[in-house]
């Protein structure tokens, strides 16, 4: 089965539409969203609607949790807080109901899906170093675990001896005895210096993964944000991939 795994849309509809089209073109059969549907950009309910209609599994992200007022935005930086306050005011009842029911973690077919880390998913810890990844491998038992949250795509493999290493290429096929932790990058706000949207294709028969980069109309997203008065920093950063 071909899985399309995507994360961190952050209310960027232009990017989300491009990623959905890209998945159609590549024959994706099962779509998994790893959360952070909202925050930062302006297309709040249209993104939640599209994810709701298109994804087979959807996980709750930390921005979603604040958007539905399950937790506070105190630990957010000033831009994230501004955007999430604005999001709270613009969230429809339908979006709120949908996001309120999203799980923190899902497992199926030897795969695990979580927003931040399989190590206590509701604490939103970052897997941003090899040490973090090494630790995270202790907290899932499936062959592969997919995460988002950092907005930077990366594949970490745990070899047959239990040692983790980073794959330099943008694809990898998991060999017998290996396990993988895959960060699928971000649809709506990539931070790896490449502004193109990112998602991850998985063949669940072969356990091969590959990142797919998708150009989209960034100016359309920026125009909407500008019109609705979102911070200039947030408008600029999506064009710079940071
Ligand atoms: Zn995010």
Within 10 angstroms of residue 163's Cβ, the number of other Cβ atoms is: 10
Kindly report the CATH number assigned to the domain that includes residue 99: 3.60.21.10
Tell me the per-residue pLDDT of 33-48, one tens digit each, with 9 for 90 and over: 999 999 999 999 999 9
Residue 240: the pLDDT is 95
CB atoms within 10 A of CB 109: 13
Task: Tell me, yes or no, whether 80 lies in a domain.
Answer: yes
Spans of the chain, pLDDT less than 50: none
**What region, left, alpha or beta, does residue 6 occupy, with left being phi > 0 and alpha being psi -120 to 50 degrees?**
beta
- What integer pLDDT is reported at residue 53 of this predicted model? 98
Q: Does 212 fall in a domain?
A: yes
Measured in angstroms, how far is the CA atom of residue 189 from the centroid of ligand 1? 8
Residue 37 maps to a domain: yes
Q: Answer left, alpha or beta for residue 187, where phi above 0 means left and psi between -120 and 50 means alpha.
A: alpha
Is 242 within a domain? no
Give how many domains the chain has, as a whole number.
Answer: 1
How much distance in Å is there from the Cα of 121 to the middle of ligand 1?
Answer: 14
pTM of the model: 0.97
- The reported pLDDT for the residue numbered 39 is 95
According to the model, what pLDDT value does residue 202 have? 98
Q: Is 201 contained in some domain?
A: yes
| Residue 135 forms part of a structural domain | yes
Expressed as residue numbers, the domain containing 72 is: 2-237
Q: How far is the C-alpha of 115 from the C-alpha of 59, rounded, in Å? A: 7
User: Which token pair is 57?
Assistant: 């599994």
Classify residue 70: in a domain, yes or no: yes
* Ligand 1 centroid distance, CA of 48 (Å): 14
Taking the centre of ligand 1 as the mean of its atom positions, its distance from the CA of residue 64, in whole angstroms, is: 9
Tell me the three state secondary structure of residue 20: helix
- Beta strands of the chain (E only): which ranges? 2-6, 30-33, 57-58, 105-108, 111-114, 144-147, 154-158, 164-167, 171-173, 179-183, 197-203, 208-214
Handedness of CA 219, 222, 227, 228 (dihedral sign): positive
pLDDT in tens, 133-163: 999 999 999 999 999 999 999 999 999 999 9
Instruction: Report pLDDT for 70.
Output: 97
Say whether 55 sits in a helix, a strand or coil. Answer: coil
Instruction: Tell me whether residue 178 is in a domain.
Output: yes
Centroid of ligand 1 to alpha carbon of 185 (angstroms): 9
């Amino acid at each position: 089965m071909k899985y399309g795994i995507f994360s961190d849309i952050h209310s960027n509809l232009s990017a989300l539409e491009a990623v959905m089209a890209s998945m159609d073109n590549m024959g994706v059969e099962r779509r998994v969203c790893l959360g952070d549907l909202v925050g930062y950009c302006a297309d709040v309910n249209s993104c939640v609607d599209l994810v709701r209609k298109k994804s087979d599994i959807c996980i709750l992200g930390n921005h979603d949790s604040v958007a539905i007022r399950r937790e506070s935005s105190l630990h957010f930086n000033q831009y994230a807080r501004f955007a999430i306050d604005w999001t709270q005011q613009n969230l429809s009842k339908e979006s709120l109901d949908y996001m309120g029911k999203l799980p923190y973690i899902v497992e199926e077919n030897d795969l695990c899906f979580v927003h931040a880390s399989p190590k206590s998913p509701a604490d939103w810890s970052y897997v941003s170093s090899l040490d973090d990844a090494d630790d995270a491998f202790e907290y899932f038992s499936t062959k592969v675990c997919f995460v988002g949250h950092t907005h930077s795509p990366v594949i970490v493999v745990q070899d047959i001896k239990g040692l983790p290493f980073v794959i330099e290429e943008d694809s990898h096929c998991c060999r017998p005895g290996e396990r993988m932790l895959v960060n699928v990058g971000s649809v709506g706000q990539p931070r790896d210096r490449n502004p193109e949207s990112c998602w991850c294709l998985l063949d669940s028969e072969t356990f091969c993964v590959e990142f797919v980069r998708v150009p989209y109309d960034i100016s359309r997203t920026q125009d909407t944000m500008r019109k609705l008065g979102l911070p200039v920093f947030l408008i600029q950063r999506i064009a710079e991939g940071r």
